[in-house]
Structure 1
Amino acid sequence: MRFVVNATALRTSGALTILKQFINRASYTKHDYIIFVSNDVKLEQKSKNITLKEVAPKNWFGRIFWDFYAFNKEILSLGVSVDKVISLQNTTVNVNLPQIIYLHQSIPFSNIKFSIKSYCEFKLFLYKKFYMFFIFAFLKDDTKFFVQTNWMKNELCTKTRINEEKVFIANPDILLPQFYCENFVSDSNKKKIYISSDISPL
């Protein structure tokens, strides 16, 4: 299978760790991955099944344009068949393909109140009030989610009424979970998640 991965916002700190872990796990699979990343992130492309596509760093408005329009245009310009899209940066994207979303931004689901008048809290206020829209802007029946905690899964299912069978837990202290590409099956002993036969990472 061929996956296109949206990871242009994973540039620093924990987000960059997620990207590096993903690339490491993907390199051991039989699937092909085309991963869109920011050109200010230094990554090594060692595996033949991984292609890195660099794009310019994006501010908030640039990212909205990318998710809503430019990302799909880039996929179409590849000239190859694509089976699924993986978003490692919380938000669904405007594509006519099944999506797998790694949702690791918990602020929109929290009960904490942030002040619009506080400089330190203003960005958090925006995440709290508006980011939920972008997470689910292109949600479809076949969209799957991976989250980091049981709390996050419960909040996601409760506040959005997404079926819990479409939400899976990927503990942040281990390498990203593995999955196949058809029917999800939980392997509780290994604390990973699988889907049918050839393994690929989330």
Structure 2
Amino acid sequence: MKMIVINNPAAKTGGAITILVDFLKKIGSLKCDRKFLVIVSSEELKKYETDKIKIIVIETQNFFKRIIWDNFKLKSFLKKQNICSNLFISLQNTGVNLDKEIPQIIYYHQALSLSNYKWDFFKKDQRIYWMYRYIYPIFIKMYLKRVKKIIVQTEWIKDSFSKKFFYPKEDIILIRPELSNIKVKDYIKKKQNKVIFFYPASLQTYKNHGFLLKIFGELNKENPKLLNGVEIILTIENTPKVRSLINYYNIENYIKLVGNLNYESILKYYGMSDVMIFPSSIESLGLPLLEAQQFGLDIIVIDLPYSREVTSEYEKVKLIDKLDKFQWKSEILTKIKKIKEEKNEN
């Protein structure tokens, strides 16, 4: 059976799953006779199956399982399913080992492999990032000659990918994710008696949650009265390390840990928030920056190529030079005072 095969078993949470769901909706609305086979690792995505979209769920893949799948198992899997692909699309950054005559398109959104951060392999919490920085590019290069087009989310990724992998810039297509289907009015429920900061990000070293907790810890120590009525919502789990930091900085009354959320719940938190705070040091796009703009939130974000590009036409944003704690504290205090005054007036 001739089908367009889409490979994305790596998408499980966050921006990756949001992009995948958006992609499934788009191909589902296409008026064409093409059939699509979509390989994922989340059973919940089966609900997007249609007459033209067949969704196959395989086991969740870690770094090493994915290498085996892309290089060996995928080809034999398609053969057993009697599927002959006339186009292969990878939504997870690398080409795969298929027959050379099958054209491949890559959706590339992995900033770790393009960053200049020097991770330490011998530190357990940095090992996976070290692999993405130094080992992963080997697999990106492996089948790059078979890739006809690369799709990216931002101009800075387009430039960096072309330079790093010597790939023709004219074959890299920039497509910014669209979030036009969000019905913002359905989610707006501001809490008048609180100033709410929201940071939707997974617990990874470069997301800098520790830095954020330290900032609010120092603010609490320096100006506890001003922090009355302030809440910081983080989409991370209540791990022993996180809890110990919260206790150390004495900010238990301000921090709300909500864990990993589905997209609907994420939108509800945007709707009740006043400020989206985003100190992440490595992003290809930073999807929450687009989402926060949809909701008209104030944004405090680290000043890096991805954030400058994504917020270039947005007025309610403050870009702060890297992790300068004095600038971050100053801007957070400014936002708290401004929002409290606005809420008191209302």
Match of 1:106 among 103, 107, 111: 111
1:112 shift after superposition: 1.9
Which amino acid letter does the alignment assign opposite residue 8 of structure 2? A
Mean Cα displacement is larger for which, 115-124 or 47-56?
A: 115-124
| Structure 2 Cα separation of the partners of residues 156 and 55 of structure 1 | 29
Evaluate the alpha carbon distance shift between residue 141 and residue 82 of structure 1 in structure 2; reply closer, same or farther with a 3 A threshold. closer
Which amino acid letter does the alignment assign opposite residue 125 of structure 1? W
Which amino acid letter does the alignment assign opposite residue 35 of structure 2? D
| Structure 2 Cα separation of the partners of residues 134 and 81 of structure 1 | 24
Larger radius of gyration: 2
Aligned to 2:53: 50
| Structure 2 Cα separation of the partners of residues 141 and 13 of structure 1 | 29
Which amino acid letter does the alignment assign opposite residue 131 of structure 2? L
TM-score normalised by L of structure 1: 0.79
TM-score normalised by L of structure 2: 0.48
- The one-character-per-residue Cα deviations of 1:51-74 (angstroms, maximum 9, x if unpaired) are 001111222221111000111112
SS at match of 2:145: coil
| Structure 2 Cα separation of the partners of residues 5 and 92 of structure 1 | 11
1:20 shift after superposition: 0.6
Question: Any conservation in 2 of the 1:92–1:138 contact (CA below 8 Å)?
Answer: yes
Q: Point out the structure with the larger helix share.
A: 2
Provide runs of 4+ in structure 1 moved above 4 Å: none
| Structure 2 Cα separation of the partners of residues 72 and 109 of structure 1 | 28
| Structure 1 Cα separation of the partners of residues 170 and 16 of structure 2 | 25
Aligned to 2:148: 143
Evaluate the alpha carbon distance shift between residue 55 and residue 46 of structure 1 in structure 2; reply closer, same or farther with a 3 A threshold. closer
Mean Cα displacement is larger for which, 162-171 or 71-80?
A: 71-80
Aligned to 2:81: 78
SS at match of 1:136: helix
Which amino acid letter does the alignment assign opposite residue 73 of structure 1? S
Question: Any conservation in 2 of the 1:11–1:41 contact (CA below 8 Å)?
Answer: no
1:120 shift after superposition: 2.9
- The one-character-per-residue Cα deviations of 1:136-194 (angstroms, maximum 9, x if unpaired) are 2112255311111111111111111111121111213548xxxxxxxxxxxxxxxxxxx
Match of 1:35 among 29, 34, 38: 38
1:36 shift after superposition: 0.8
| Structure 1 Cα separation of the partners of residues 69 and 128 of structure 2 | 20
Aligned to 1:59: 62
1:109 shift after superposition: 1.1
Aligned length: 174
Q: Point out the structure with the larger strand share.
A: 1
Matched, 1:120 2:125: yes
Aligned to 2:24: 23
* Structure 1 unaligned residues grouped into runs of 5+: 176-202
Q: Give the root-mean-square deviation of aligned CA atoms.
A: 1.8
Question: Any conservation in 1 of the 2:7–2:89 contact (CA below 8 Å)?
Answer: yes
| Structure 1 Cα separation of the partners of residues 164 and 145 of structure 2 | 16
Matched-pair identity in %: 30
Question: Any conservation in 2 of the 1:92–1:101 contact (CA below 8 Å)?
Answer: yes
Aligned to 1:87: 90
